[in-house]
Structure 1
């Protein structure tokens, strides 16, 4: 959940002039305390309908932040952002982008806008009141056989029941990607802007794709980094995690083999064998909190990073009988909120299969197809037991609208594999171009060293120029 030229086609380089301020212009003030200091950010709160079909009904809060351009004479407009999720907070994201060196030209050209999506963080939050044990299972419980799917089905059914019995259950059907896109348009209106640009990563690519499909005439320059397929986080995307790990793992196997100090194997084949050996050993005898399932998940998440040193150190510790540092401390309100918001979006966006036998078959297939983690990513989850169907049809991503979308994608991304990005690129048709970068990890723009990919995105955000055709960037090490 964690979380980056050839001949060009110019997409309108004229400056977008903000609409005149209205009486309801947001009142900006200090931001709430976050994970790291936000000295440059300003924050406000907007009221939006819980259910847009009933705009005069119940209202909820959306927390919004702004990193203002310090050069009004260069300012083009606003750049909405989303770091991914679903369930991830985005209020601090503009500050984070500045810390990872979002180019000064981009900082000058836009007010960078962050927000906590509906149901998340400082926006009106949702909860499921899950137990510590349920949260500890995580999102990817590995199934060694059909009986494990039945066992996980009982857990998933209980999670769905607790979500729909919690104090915020009435909100859950409306915490969806389409409604978050509508919230984004309310942010646009509140800022007095005729159109918005956008930079979204991971799940944020699907959110951006939905917004620019629903509101094409209000979309300026849209950058989608590390792309989900056009169906968002549906069952296909979950099973695609298995493919993503297969794409990325060879990079780690090569890295570990080149560093004999970790003792994980002297060739990539031996490192791969060590993975299966450790997983089997931990299935039988966990080390502290690390079971075989947790080890597979730890490895999957470690592959998101560009630097693979931490993952190698964790493997070394486990091989020596020592537990690595847990991914988090005690269960907190924010973790509860993340799981609840994630369930709401996944289960509210898509109708999921409900047959336990069907998931058993999927697990058996993906254990062979994606042997590293496929039997986890195909396993059953709470959406199979969600009591309500989605309140509206899924938004269909199409090529209708201006040619103003740029996809940037690592070739070996474990979380949003290239296969899904290609499907999104095809769905957009001539609206989009895609920059594919020969590197691994989750996050292409700014989070990797590839100058070709980074330059293409910065050029598009700054000038509106994008490659005349899809661009492939060769590997770079510095």
Structure 2
């Protein structure tokens, strides 16, 4: 999932910060109810025109191993780019079912192995999202990798189809529909979904008018097929990968479609691969994820000696937060510079959720809570990404979620699910079960989601925080079960989104590094305290 901005700090959004012009906010926007004036292609004629197994065969046939060095590498643009990073483009079919039809460009980057004598191959740094750029990952997260990993691999980044410096898409959404707290479907203060459904209709109309033909072909399976085209252009018979967040689903789908093309695959902060729900499960998982992660914030916010302490005991923090959110539902307070320019209950809930992604944001959240409770001036509003980048990211994220699987169309379905979620998980107030853009999407999925299975080489290692607000442990366990003996899982006693090299957990980091450099995995699943 996308990592949103933390209160009062530069925007870290889902690990996106690597290229400031492409930073974007929050998990996908709210788009619902159907479109008039467009005729979706019949699902039966297009969906599953090729089964996932056949898709693997024909895509593989289109992507033979190319000689090394066929890409034209040039210097990359950007102020914060490592001078060693090189960039190139790879042409791929817009529609992989029509390999001789129109094409699009993928922006690809690399930092070559720092010790060619021990080079093993290429390591794809698969970004999260959907709707997250990754072109500058070799200069960013790639430089956090231990030296022996950077020696063993060329680090490969890319902007997925539709994103950033690849051939982009843009739906031209109204600004009010892409404000940071609007990008998740927070219901009305009384649990109403009426406003969300209205936003969905506006956004669906915008995508139908402005999205262009590429919008129909933004799917996880097509991203995986694109990765195999990149592998071929690199001249690699197999590739390794470090995938994070939504990228774990991309990586699992790639390993399913192209098992013989995988070398060593690390899936970090894992999404539930349920093919019946796909993105619906990822959004719904926030209710469980926030419940898992909140006690860590409560313990921190009640710790003696903490200058930002909110309560005497951890048990007092939850009711304190809920009372404040309810009060702000009734009586929002101005927040100059924010979008919208007020702190209401849902903006506070949104800020909690985004802060739990990275616990180093706890002090900023605590200061916001204290100021709001005491009627003091609020801290500076969060940094917002450029609108062009935000428009692009939301369009890609929306289309990918909606094209992967069909979502319910009935408003009653969402009303009932929101009511149940609000009762069981008040910290998220029904948002995770609310209607997303896909409830109104004008197109049917063109093919069935790929079912992740245990068929293929045993070369996958999952790493997972126990308390992840966006990709909770329960979903990671489902991916682990689906992969069977192909995988092992390392569970880390940590809070936050992303695990490898993110928590200072020597056991977890050591286990992943050993796998990437030697191929050795634990004999069974392990827990790192």
TM (normalized to structure 2)?
A: 0.83
The structure 2 residue matched to 1:254, chosen from 262, 287, 299, is 299
1:275 to 318, 321, 332: 321
Q: Distance in 2 between matches of 1:293 and 1:141?
A: 10
- 1:210-359 to 2 correspondences below 5 Å: 210-231=253-274, 233-258=278-303, 261-287=307-333, 288=335, 289=341, 290-307=343-360, 308-321=362-375, 322-329=377-384, 331-359=386-414
Structure 1 CA distance for aligned equivalents of residues 65 and 391 of structure 2 = 39
Alignment of 1:47 onto 2:91: yes
**Counterpart of 2:125?**
81
Q: How far did 1:150 drift?
A: 1.7
Q: Deviations over 1:289-325 (max 9, x none)?
A: 3221111011100001132333223323333443333
> Residues 360 and 129 of structure 1: is their aligned pair in 2 closer, same or farther, counting only changes over 3 Å?
same
Q: Alpha carbons of 1:170 and 1:323: their partners in 2 closer, same or farther (altered >3 Å)?
A: farther
1:5-154 map, 5 Å: 21=67, 25-33=70-78, 36-99=80-143, 101-136=144-179, 137-144=181-188, 148-154=192-198
1:80/1:199 contact within 8 Å kept:
yes
Q: Distance in 1 between matches of 2:185 and 2:128?
A: 22
* Cα distance, 1:160–1:304 mapped onto 2, change above 3 Å: same
Taking the aligned partners of 1:226 and 1:335, their CA distance within structure 2 comes to 23
**Cα deviation 1:352-378 (Å, max 9, x = unaligned):** 111110000000111122111041111
- Tell me, yes or no, if the aligned pair for 2:191 and 2:418 is still in contact at 8 Å: no
Tell me which of 499, 506, 520 is aligned to 1:444.
499
SS at 1:410's partner residue? Answer: strand
Given candidates 217, 220, 224, the residue that maps to 1:181 is 224
Is the CA contact (8 Å cut-off) linking 1:263 and 1:316 kept in structure 2?
A: no
How has the CA–CA distance of structure 1 residues 260 and 284 changed in structure 2, closer, same or farther, with 3 Å as cutoff? Answer: farther
- CA shift, 1:156, in A, is 1.1
Q: 1:326 to 1:124 in 2, by over 3 A?
A: farther
8 Å contact from structure 1 (residues 411, 436) kept in 2? yes
- How far, CA to CA, are the matches of 1:179 and 1:159 in structure 2? 23
- 1:195 and 1:98 map into 2 onto residues whose CA distance is 19
Measured in 2, the distance between the counterparts of 1:397 and 1:20 equals 28
**2:311 touches 2:317 (CA, 8 Å); kept in 1?**
yes
Task: Supply the distance in 1 between the matched residues of 2:100 and 2:126 (Cα, whole angstroms).
Answer: 27
Identify the residue that residue 24 of structure 2 maps to in structure 1. none
Post-superposition offset of 1:132? 1.2
Q: Which residue of 1 aligns with 2:11?
A: none
Query: C-alpha distance in 2, partners of 1:218/1:401?
Result: 10
1:62, 1:328 → 2: CA distance? 28
Structure-2 change in CA distance of 1:274 and 1:246 (3 Å): same
Structure 1 unaligned residues grouped into runs of 5+: 5-17
Pairwise CA distance, 1:151: 2.0
Give the Cα separation in 2 of the matches to 1:145 and 1:311: 21
Change (3 A) 1:374 1:430: farther
Secondary structure of the corresponding residue to residue 112 of structure 1: strand
SS in 2 for 1:189: helix
> How far apart are the structure 2 equivalents of 1:127 and 1:397?
30
Question: What secondary structure is seen at the aligned counterpart in 2 of 1:61?
Answer: strand
In 1: Cα distance, 2:325 partner to 2:191 partner: 18
Query: Could you tell me how far apart the structure 2 residues matched to 1:112 and 1:349 are?
Result: 28
Match of 1:161 in 2: 205
Deviations 1:59-100 (A, max 9, x none): 11100000101211100000001231110000111111244x
Q: TM-score, normalised by structure 1?
A: 0.92
After the TM superposition, which residues 396-415 of structure 1 pair with which residues of structure 2 at under 5 Å, given as runs? Answer: 396-415=451-470
Shift of 1:472: 0.7
Deviation at 1:56, TM superposition (A): 1.1
> SS of the counterpart of 1:114?
strand
Over aligned residue pairs, what C-alpha RMSD do you find? Answer: 1.9
Measured against aligned partners, the alpha-carbon deviations of 1:31-61 in whole angstroms (never above 9, x if no partner) come to 1226x33322100111111001111111111
After the TM superposition, which of the residue ranges 303-312 and 81-90 deviates more from structure 2? 303-312
Question: Any conservation in 2 of the 1:132–1:331 contact (CA below 8 Å)?
Answer: no
Taking the aligned partners of 2:385 and 2:222, their CA distance within structure 1 comes to: 32
